[in-house]
Structure 1
Amino acid sequence: MELRAWCAALCAGIMGLVGCGDSSGQNQSGGAGASGPGSGGTAGGGQGQGGDIFGGQGGDPFGGQGGDPFGNGNGGANGGTGSSGSNTMGCEHVDVVFALDNSQSMDEEKEEMRDVVFPAFARALLQIGGIKDFRAAVLDACPRPANFHTRGAAGECSFQSQKPWMDSSSSEIEREFQCAADLYAEDVECSGDSDDEQPASAVAASLEPPFSTGDNEGFLRDDALLVVVAITDEDEQPVPAQRPQEIHDRLVAAKGEAKNVVFLGIGGREDCDGVYGSADEADNLQRLVDTFAADDRGFFWDLCAGRLEDGLTNALTAIEEACTEFVPTVN
């Protein structure tokens, strides 16, 4: 898919953060539509459920279109129909943490994130007129240490924020995304024998002492939605061992409210040789997603299907609803 087409679609989808609807559906690439206030056409010209978060796209994220940012339905471009949806202001701030498995088997995925997904995601976020700002931090899947990355393989990223995270005010946000995604992990203590494949655990550790009171201090904001993106081609393998519910509880504790956290897990739905090479079944990661799905805050994308950009696009459904129901933390 051309970057221009992907970016345009994601830009349109993520605008739902400020126009949150209330209907729901299911979305996989070429399947039923993503959650949203309406219905749209599938890639084959039929009618898909849900549509995009304006009430438009169904099936393929780039198929039928319906609905505008104000909730007015339009005919789907490939045969679907759009219906009306609500438009209410949601959250105004978003804090995003990406954790990537940095093992050698992840080279294809890391290249896609660095060269396609991260830059396009940055451009899409900059198109949002209804939120005041966003922050984005990156770390590898080893929690020792769980400090946010401020350098890539080629050297220091020199974030304009002068913090260990990127800020939407940066005039070089795309370059910063690309630098941080090209992971530098020479300073980690994990051995590489499975214990460096615990992205969700690494995020939890980054938001807890001593890291949340050390180098990462100040990242989490009381009035911001927390979005966690965990990516691995094996499985979540915490060291020491933890149940998925325990990792869920650690992430929620950082925000104080389960509805204020959106979790996107990207891994193999089963053992496969996929678009990005082989992947193991990510059973623990899928069960962790399920703990967030109870509050409609969890989303899993099958790495075997490829198209990482679609995984982020479809996760916007959960982000949209979370923004609608966001409850600022009261200290």
Structure 2
Amino acid sequence: MELRTWCAALCAGMVGLVACGGDSGTNEDSGSPGAGNGGSQGQGGDIFGSGTGSFGQGGGSFGNGVSGSTGGTGGSGANSAGCEHVDVVFALDNSSSMDEEKQSMREIVFPAFAQALLDISGIQDFRAAVIDACPLPANFHTRGAAGECSFQSGQAWMDSSSNDLTGEFQCAADLYVDDVECSGNNDDEQPASAVAAALEPPFSQEQNAGFSRENALLVVVVITDEDEQPVPRQEPQAIHDRLVAVKGDAKNVVFLGIGGKTDCEGAYGDADEADNLQRLVDTFAADGRGFFWDLCQGRLEDGLTNALTAIEEACEEFVPVVN
């Protein structure tokens, strides 16, 4: 199914999602949509609905107005404000208990996310990479359980210019893990640490070389039904610092953590309390760049609104840091 069709289907099921807003933090409401002037098909200009927002009058991702002109600005040169490019890394826990979450990511969340990114004023393109929750090895996935994904980019990541972007993501997110060196004894439950390793040497200079762009906002989306359990042990602040070091400025990184707020039997099955993941989100929330979505609440597509709001704000403030 084409991406626009997916977005239309998602829109129809997201009644009540309107202008994005809310406070950042580590509860299920952080960054959730605020009250707006209409439903998901409204005439106004925020990401999912209607009302007056930073896009101006009309033109939100799921609205049907005319795009405004007050989104991201500039951003192609050093020391210019605004971003035109986004690099996204999805880290997915590959536990068997995650099957429903991964299916939702492949079939609902990513297609809508991809379209909504390009609907943010000022963003010209994005790259998307997939990794599992084991940092050994921390190479991006270029094949799925069914075989090679053959990205049109010819790289270890997907490019928004692909005419089969959804199909490529569905292939890679059906994780192939026969090459992992983790034992499976909780050392494969460290998605944020795996992203950090993927963006650091040696992987950033070898298998994943060229992915991270100086003039691009970095967006990290991690999902687990257990908790971030780095091996060897690291505090959340240390993982935060590793990710920020890639971009040189904390405001150039958006982090969305999806996990259990408490131990629960949720919409997707059992989830453990993700205490470390929530603490990691807090380190990014201090700069308005961290959001947590409670897996126990289900509806991963709702967590999407948190990331989109943060990405829009981060793009408006983005300043490339040239190393």
Classify the TM-score, shorter chain. 0.7 to 0.9
Alpha-carbon distance between aligned partners in 2 of 1:237 and 1:91, rounded to the nearest angstrom: 33
Q: Could you tell me how far 1:9 is from its partner in structure 2?
A: 9.1
Q: How does 1:293-312 map to 2 (within 5 A)?
A: 293-312=285-304
Deviation at 1:208, TM superposition (A): 0.5
Q: Matches of 2:88 and 2:257 in 1, distance apart?
A: 13
Q: Which of residues 168, 173, 178 is equivalent to 1:176?
A: 168
Residue 32 (structure 1) shift: 8.7
Q: How does 1:256-271 map to 2 (within 5 A)?
A: 256-271=248-263
Aligned to 1:66, which of 51, 55, 58?
51
1:169 deviates by 1.4
* Contact 2:226/2:271, CA 8 A, preserved across alignment: yes
Task: Find out whether 1:329 has 2:321 as its counterpart.
Answer: yes
Tell me the residue number matched to 1:79.
none
- The offset of 1:127, in angstroms, is 4.3
TM-score, scaled to structure 1: 0.80
Q: Give the corresponding residue for 1:116.
A: 108
Distance 2:23 2:69 in 1: 17
| Equivalent pair of 2:227/2:275 in contact (CA under 8 Å) | yes
Relative distance call for 1:232 and 1:294 in structure 2 (3 A) is same
Native 8 Å contact 1:40 1:56 kept in 2: no
Of residues 114-123 and 313-322 in structure 1, the stretch that sits farther from structure 2 once superposed is: 114-123
Separation of aligned partners in 2, 1:204 and 1:135: 17
Secondary structure at the residue paired with 1:225?
Answer: strand
* Residue 184 of structure 1: how far off its partner (Å): 0.7
List alignment gaps of at least 5 residues for structure 1.
17-22, 44-51, 74-83
Q: Distance in 1 between matches of 2:232 and 2:268?
A: 29
> CA–CA distance in 1 between the matches of 2:232 and 2:119?
41
Whole-Å separation in 2 of the counterparts to 1:168 and 1:242: 34
CA spacing shift, 1:7–1:24, aligned 2, 3 Å: closer
Aligned CA RMSD, in angstroms, stands at 3.1
1:228 counterpart letter in structure 2: V
Q: Which amino acid aligns with 1:287?
A: R
Alpha-carbon displacement from aligned partner over 1:44-93 (angstroms, at most 9, x marks no partner): xxxxxxxx9x7658xxx66xx312675249xxxxxxxxxx9964523100
Deviates further, 114-123 or 301-310: 114-123
Q: Which residue of 1 aligns with 2:65?
A: none
CA distance in 2, matches of 1:6, 1:197: 30
Q: Which residue of structure 2 aligns with residue 228 of structure 1? A: 220
Give aligned-pair identity as a percent: 70
- TM-score of the aligned structures, taking structure 2 as reference length: 0.82
Tell me which moved more, 154-163 or 107-116.
107-116
Bigger relative contact order (CA 8 A; separation at least 6): 2
Cα distance in 1 for residues equivalent to 2:250 and 2:225: 26
- For the pair 1:282 / 2:279, whether they are aligned, the reply is no
Structure 2 gaps, min length 5:
1-5, 59-67, 74-81
Is the counterpart of residue 167 in structure 1 residue 159 in structure 2?
yes
Residue-by-residue CA offset, 1:149-178 (whole Å, 9 max, x unaligned): 000111100001110000111111111111
Residue of structure 1 equivalent to 2:8: 4
1:121-161 CA distance string (max 9 Å, x none): 23334545632210000000000000000001111000011
- State the one-letter code of the partner of 1:305: Q
1:25 aligned partner:
22
Return the letter of the residue paired with 1:290.
Answer: D
C-alpha deviation, 1:317, in angstroms: 1.4
How many residue pairs get aligned? The number is: 294
Residues 152 and 180 in structure 1, CA contact (< 8 A), matched pair in contact too: yes
Contact 2:261 2:273 in 1 (8 A): yes
Give secondary structure in 2 for the equivalent of 1:264: strand
Q: Is the 8 A contact 2:133 2:189 kept in 1?
A: yes
Q: C-alpha deviations, 1:177-227, integer Å up to 9, x for none?
A: 111111111110111111101000000000001100111010000000000
